[in-house]
Amino acid sequence: MLVIHPKDKTTAMLSALYEGLEAQVVDDRRSTKEMGHLLHHVSTQERIMLLGHGSDKGLFYRADDRKEGFDKVIVGHPHAYHLRKHGGNIVAVWCNADQFARAEGLHGLFTGMIVSELNEALLYQVETTQEELDRENVKLARRLRALLDKRIPLSEIPKRMLAMDDVHSPLTTFNYNKFFYF
């Protein structure tokens, strides 16, 4: 499995998705060419996980997570060919990964906007606290990992994640509704 998860304290809980598994984890800066080479050489039998912050343009990278903003798109349009070729064995958890997938014709499990920071909660008018964000996003990541470990088909995960929301707060309702399979 190839995991691309740029280091960031606000998405560190996503490491629960691959900890303890045999995986090549890329958490540092790579050039567009280096990333293309990595993606090109992943067997279609292996899963690709793309985790962190992003937009409809792709997965972001930032050198210093104490600063606002991002330095570059680390997986984006130039890599779409390799991702399309990979088929549907992709798990992408970043804000608006679903829009990226639709625009690029990708298949797999993708998230929409996931609230992982208080400023995002304010922007999307999701009532929450830092404590709830920390607690519930760790639970969300662990629940997704449990489904992946049980080898639940990616196509079934969106409805299974919805059923796992045991809090039904504005935050969990917002986030658990943001899993999509294409």
23 pLDDT above the threshold of 90: yes
Q: Which residues have C-beta within 8 Å of that of residue 164, sequence separation ≥ 6?
A: 143, 176
Per-residue DSSP letter, 42: S
pLDDT, one tens digit per residue, over 31-50 is 999 999 999 999 999 999 99
pLDDT, one tens digit per residue, over 147-182 is 999 999 999 999 999 999 999 999 999 999 999 999
Q: What tokens does 133 get?
A: 């964000």
62 pLDDT above the threshold of 80: yes
pLDDT, one tens digit per residue, over 99-145 is 999 999 999 999 999 999 999 999 999 999 999 999 999 999 999 99
Calculate the CA dihedral of residues 126, 12, 35, 148 and round it to 10 degrees: -80
Q: What is the DSSP string of 118-174?
A: HHHHHHTT----HHHHHHHHHHHHHHHHHHHHTT--GGGHHHHHHHH--S--HHHHH
What's this model's pTM, rounded to 2 decimal places? 0.94
